[in-house]
Structure formats: structure tokens, C-alpha cells
Amino acid sequence: MQRVIAEADRQGARLAFAALPPPMRAMYLDDQDLILVSDRLDPIQIAESAAHELGHRKNGDRCSSPEAEERAWIYAAKVLIQLEPYMRAELEDPHPLAIAHKLNTTRRMVELYQQHHLQTQALAAPRNIFGEYEDDGNDADNYSAHSLQTRRRTTCGLIA
């Protein structure tokens, strides 16, 4: 949730809790520059819903459409997941549900992150002089199992 609060501060958005009618989880009131989040949600749902609404704010969405909703969910994944914690979680278990559990988010956010953000963030990851992703040096056999390493790059759609 700290990343969501930091992003809201960066954007100048206000977050507040409200008794929203189910199934509404959150809403962005553009005329008040306010994001309301249901007070009935658990912490993971709060972070996900608030990040989603920040996506609507960032994209200037004034009404809901399938395209606007998809853009907002993709943005939420970027806000909620960082590359380094993702890599550590994937090393432990590469299954999206296991990664989500380790990162305190949902499988949907992990899958959106993998589809839309992992490749671009990974391309900015440290590389050696041969263009290969640098190892963290923690592996006895000098092989890491995360998707950013040369041997497994194709797992996440990265091309050697």
C-alpha cells in the first residue's frame, strides 16, 4: 500500500475510504480529484483498487470503457510490483500465484506485470559487457532460475 500512497502523492491525488455499495470497490471522482476506496476491502484489495483508480486518473479517463479498464489494470500492476522483489519471488517459485503471494498482491496483477511491464523493466536491468543480465552471485553453480537470466529469458518473452 505504501507504493500506492507514494504514487497518489506524486500525482497529487487524494485517497479516502467510503462505504461504497457492493460490488463497487473504488471510484475516481475527477471533478474532485478524489479516489474513494470501499471500507469493506482487505489490504490487498485496497491497494489493487486504489492503484487501478490512480490509473484512471493518470490516463485522464472520465468514463468507463473496456479499453480504459484494461489500461487502468495494467497501470495498477506497474504501481504495485517492482522488478527486484519480483525477481526474488520468481526465484523461489516461478508460478504466478506463488509470486503474488510473496508480493502480497493478486495473481492477476502478477500476470499483467509479466505481460506488460517485465520486459521493459528487465531491459533496464544491469547487464555485463556482453549484454547478458548480471547474476547476483548467490548461486553456487552460477545459474539463476529467474526469467531475466540468459537461460530462461524466453520464459517471459525476452529474446536473447
**Which CATH number is 3's domain given?**
1.10.10.2910
Judge if 94 and 112 occupy the same domain. yes
Which of 80, 103, 125 terminates a domain? The answer is 80
Judge if 73 and 87 occupy the same domain. no
Confidence (pLDDT) at 127: 58
Judge if 143 and 126 occupy the same domain. yes
pLDDT in tens, 93-146: 999 999 999 999 999 999 999 999 988 877 665 556 665 656 555 444 444 445
* Average pLDDT of span 12-17: 96
CA distance 150 to 160: 7
Which of 41, 65, 80 terminates a domain? The answer is 80
CA distance 8 to 58: 10
Distances (CA, A) of 31 to 27, 76, 98, 146: 12, 21, 39, 44
Judge if 141 and 106 occupy the same domain. yes
For 143, half-sphere exposure in the C-beta direction (CA atoms, 13 angstrom radius) is: 5
- How many domains is the chain partitioned into structurally? 2
Judge if 72 and 111 occupy the same domain. no
- Grouping H, G, I as helix, E, B as strand and the rest as coil, residue 12 is coil
Confidence (pLDDT) at 78: 96
Judge if 58 and 90 occupy the same domain. no
pLDDT in tens, 43-71: 999 999 999 999 999 999 988 899 999 99
Distances (CA, A) of 64 to 39, 58, 104, 141, 158: 22, 14, 27, 51, 33
Q: Kindly state the helix (H) or strand (E) to which residue 26 belongs, with its residue range.
A: strand 26-29
Judge if 38 and 57 occupy the same domain. yes
Judge if 42 and 68 occupy the same domain. yes
Judge if 71 and 109 occupy the same domain. no
Domain that holds residue 7: 1-80
Judge if 144 and 118 occupy the same domain. yes
Which of 80, 104, 120 terminates a domain? The answer is 80
Q: Which among 84, 100, 123, 116 has a CA at the least distance from the CA of 44?
A: 100
Judge if 65 and 124 occupy the same domain. no
Confidence (pLDDT) at 132: 60
Task: Give CA angle at 99 (97, 104), nearest 5°.
Answer: 90
Judge if 71 and 141 occupy the same domain. no
Q: Which amino acid is at 34?
A: L
